[in-house]
Amino acid sequence: MQRSRIAITGSGGLIGTALTRSLTADGHEVVRLVRRAPRAADEVRWDPLRRRIDTAGLAGCDAVVNLAGAGVGDHRWTDSYKREIRDSRVLGTETLARAVASLDVAPRVFLSGSAVGFYGDTGDRAVDESAPAGEGFLPALCQEWEGAAGAVSEAGVRTVFARTGLVVAREGGAWQRLFPLFKAGLGGRLGDGGQYWSFIALHDEVAALRHLLATETLSGPVNLTAPEPRTNREVTAAMGRVLGRPTVFTAPAPVLRAVLGEMAGDVLGSQRVLPKRLLESGFAFAFPGIEEALRAAL
C-alpha cells in the first residue's frame, strides 16, 4: 500500500495501538480521533455519543478505520453497560460514516470493526461470511453496528467490516487475564471445554487489517480469525504446554453464570468461524495455530 493518510478511531485500544504503530513505522500518516481536546497535530476531536466530529480533520484521508467501542468483557452486562457497549459502537459508527460521506473528496475505503459475535453460538458447525446472524445480544449488536455505516457505503465508498475473533495478546483482550492465571498454575478449562474459540494472533490481526485496506476487491464482511478454531479444552492444553504449567482447574458452567451473569453465555458459547474470504483474497497467516499464536504473544 502506497504511503497514505489514514484516520483511526480507537487508536488507544489493543488493536488500534498495534495498527497505528505498524502504519506509522511504514511511513503512513495516521490521524487519531480522540474524545478530548487534541494535544498533538495528529489528533482530531470527536464526541461519538453526542454525534459530533471535526469533519475538517478528516479532509485528505485516503482511508478511515473505525475501531472504537467499550470493552465487551470489561464489566458485567448490566442493562446500563449493555447500552454503553451498544452506543459506543453504533452511535460512533453512524457519526463517523455520516462525516465521511459529507466530505468533498471521499476516502478510498472505510474499514469498520465488527466481531464474530455476529454468528452467535454455532456449536460444532463451521461458518463463514455467508452464514446468517445468530440470536442474542451480541449478534443483534453486530448487525446494528455494521448497519450504522450505511451512509458511507451509500456514498460509494468501499466499506469493509472486519469481524474479528478472540485476539491473542498479552496487552489486552481475554488473554491479558488468562496468561497470569495460567502462569500461576491456576488455569483450566471453562465449562466442559467443548466450545470452539475462534482466535487470531495480534500480529495477524494487524496484518489482516492492512490487507483489507490495500485489497480493493474486498468489501462487506470479512472474518478475521485463524484458519483452524480450537476448542477451549484444546486451548487450555496448549496454554499448559507453552507455559509449562498444570491446567487441572475448571470453572464449572453454573459458577461462570453466577459470576458473569448474561456474559457467561458468550464465554460458554461455541463459535467455529472460518476466514474464507480472507484466505481467498490471498492473505497468509504468520501464526495460524494456537501454540504459534500463544508463543508470538509471549
Task: Please list, residue by residue across 103-119, b when 16 or more beta carbons sit within 10 angstroms of its beta carbon and e when fewer do.
Answer: beebbebbbbbbbbbbb
Structural domain of 114: 5-297
What per-residue confidence (pLDDT) applies to 280? 98
What per-residue confidence (pLDDT) applies to 261? 62
What per-residue confidence (pLDDT) applies to 3? 86
For each of the chain's 298 residues, which pLDDT tens digit applies? 788 999 999 999 999 999 999 999 999 999 999 999 999 989 999 999 899 999 999 999 999 999 999 888 777 788 898 999 999 999 999 999 999 999 999 999 999 999 999 999 999 999 999 999 999 999 999 999 999 999 999 999 999 999 999 999 999 888 888 888 889 888 888 888 999 999 999 999 999 999 999 999 999 999 999 999 999 999 999 999 999 999 888 876 675 565 456 655 666 789 999 999 999 999 999 999 999 999 999 9
Are the CB atoms for 273 and 165 separated by under 8 Å?
Answer: yes
What per-residue confidence (pLDDT) applies to 126? 98
What per-residue confidence (pLDDT) applies to 76? 79
In 10 A of CB 263, how many CB atoms?
20
Return the CATH number at 25.
3.40.50.720
Are the CB atoms for 61 and 23 separated by under 8 Å?
Answer: no
* DSSP codes joined into one string, 183-251: HTT--EEETTS-SEE-EEEHHHHHHHHHHHHH-TT--EEEEES-SS-EEHHHHHHHHHHHHT----EEE
Question: Can you give the pTM of this predicted structure?
Answer: 0.94
> Strand, coil or helix: what is 272?
strand
- Output the nine-digit C-alpha cell for 109: 475505503
**Per the structure, how many domains does the chain have?**
1
